[in-house]
Amino acid sequence: MIKVASLTKRYGSNFALDNASFEIGGKEIVGLLGPNGAGKSTTMNILTGYLSATSGEVSVGGIDILKNPIEAKKNIGYLPEQPPLYQEMTVVEYLNFVYDLKKCKLDRHAHIDEICEVVKISDVKNRIIGHLSKGYKQRVGIAQALINDPPVLIFDEPTVGLDPKQIIEIRNLIRTLGAKHTVILSTHILSEVQSVCERIIIINKGKIIADKKTDELSRDIDDSVKYRLKVCAPKTEAIAAFRANAGIAACELLPDRDGDSITLSLENKRGIDIRKSVYYVCSQNNWPILEFSPVGMELEDIFIRLIDRGEGGNDKKKKARARG
Ligand code: ADP
């Protein structure tokens, strides 16, 4: 349904997108995950025909969006990060306006009524958009994307700024839409893609560094445990001893000092349980352990893991190490 080949977008010497390629089939829910500035909005803006590319190819439903944007756009419903809502219109006036804008040929009333039912805004149809809560406004934004029943839906950070209840509701709605449409959503929240998407494309500094099924990525994350160790030990000796341990992938000093103790961050090598080794290193050296606890992996840690496994190229590996 969507084909992106060697897509590059340059702003001066800065690559917002650097040779990105991926394909997405029908009725998939795919998450585009990356930190701020990774290139997610750039990808979505090119996919939806709002931005030109420096080089590369993009087609949606077999139509080249760069060469034939008007035709290709008919296949896409787009919810930008800031939904293009007219605050002074009522919901139904606005949806009729979008219906006309898209030159929709479906039965006007039945189509708009059905969309309002699906996104659960029937009860606010006659309310002024500007008076609605952020959650309802987001639903109206999704409703406008659904007009003309496009096979592809593209949502840019659809849950940003919503409260926890609204976030759950919007995620449920996206799951429902995934049964009938190909959905691509961008987010910088790992748990969001894990809960909504079947597949995750990870983008960092304009490059795609991973493209995996969600359960595969979740397994990788479960295998990657990080610990926080507070121990009474000489700094240099302790770091050297842990780094020399076969099961430990990384040992870094954390800034948290307390009396004669130091605090270290320890990461296991994939699939290796390092808890006993950590105890043995400490007991052999007579280093009392004050605290030893697992720490959840952050998105940044997962990036570094993926890059370290060679999925992001050698230059990134060096940079990640330098940061660590
Ligand atoms: P994301 O959506 O993942 O936060 P963006 O696609 O917005 O990332 O941005 C990717 C990179 O491109 C960033 O480094 C950003 O600063 C840069 N960028 C985006 N738009 C412009 C622009 N109009 N002019 C110059 N640089 C831009």
What does the pLDDT look like over 207-259, one tens digit per residue?
Answer: 998 899 988 887 777 666 789 999 999 999 999 999 999 899 899 999 877 78
Whose CA is closest to atom 1 on ligand 1? 37
When pLDDT is averaged across residues 275-279 and rounded to a whole number, the result is 94
Whose CA is closest to atom 26 on ligand 1? 11
Whose CA is closest to atom 15 on ligand 1? 37
Cα separation, 97 vs 42, in Å, equals 27
From the list 239, 231, 221, 233, the residue with the least C-alpha distance to 305 is 221
Cα separation, 204 vs 320, in Å, equals 12
Q: In the numeric block, which tokens belong to residue 268?
A: 């296991």
- Judge whether residue 191 has pLDDT over 90: no
Kindly give the distance from the C-alpha atom of residue 186 to the centroid of ligand 1, in angstroms, as a whole number.
14
Whose CA is closest to atom 17 on ligand 1? 16
pLDDT attached to residue 301: 67
- Judge whether residue 125 has pLDDT over 90: yes
Q: Which amino acid is at 48?
A: T
Q: Where are the beta strands (DSSP E) in the chain?
A: 2-11, 14-24, 29-33, 55-60, 63-64, 76-79, 152-156, 182-187, 199-204, 207-213, 226-232, 248-258, 261-268, 289-295
Predicted TM-score of the model (pTM): 0.77
Cα separation, 31 vs 185, in Å, equals 5
Whose CA is closest to atom 11 on ligand 1? 16
Kindly give the distance from the C-alpha atom of residue 102 to the centroid of ligand 1, in angstroms, as a whole number.
28
Where does ligand 1 bind, in terms of residues with CB under 6 Å?
11, 14, 16, 34, 36-42
**Mean pLDDT for the chain?**
89
- Judge whether residue 317 has pLDDT over 80: no
Question: Which residue from 7, 9, 10, 11 has its CB within 8 A of the most atoms of ligand 1, so it is best to mutate?
Answer: 11
**Tens digits of per-residue pLDDT, 233-242?**
999 999 999 9
What percentage of the chain exceeds 90 in pLDDT? 68
State the closest ligand 1 atom to the C-alpha of 157, by its place in the atom list counted from 1: 2
| 315 CB-contact burial (10 Å; exposed 0-12 / middle 13-18 / buried 19+) | exposed
52 φψ region: left (φ > 0), alpha (ψ -120 to 50), beta (else): beta
Q: Using pLDDT thresholds of 50, 70 and 90, give the confidence band for residue 171.
A: very high
- Tell me 287's DSSP state: -
pLDDT attached to residue 300: 64
Residue length of the chain: 324
Whose CA is closest to atom 23 on ligand 1? 11
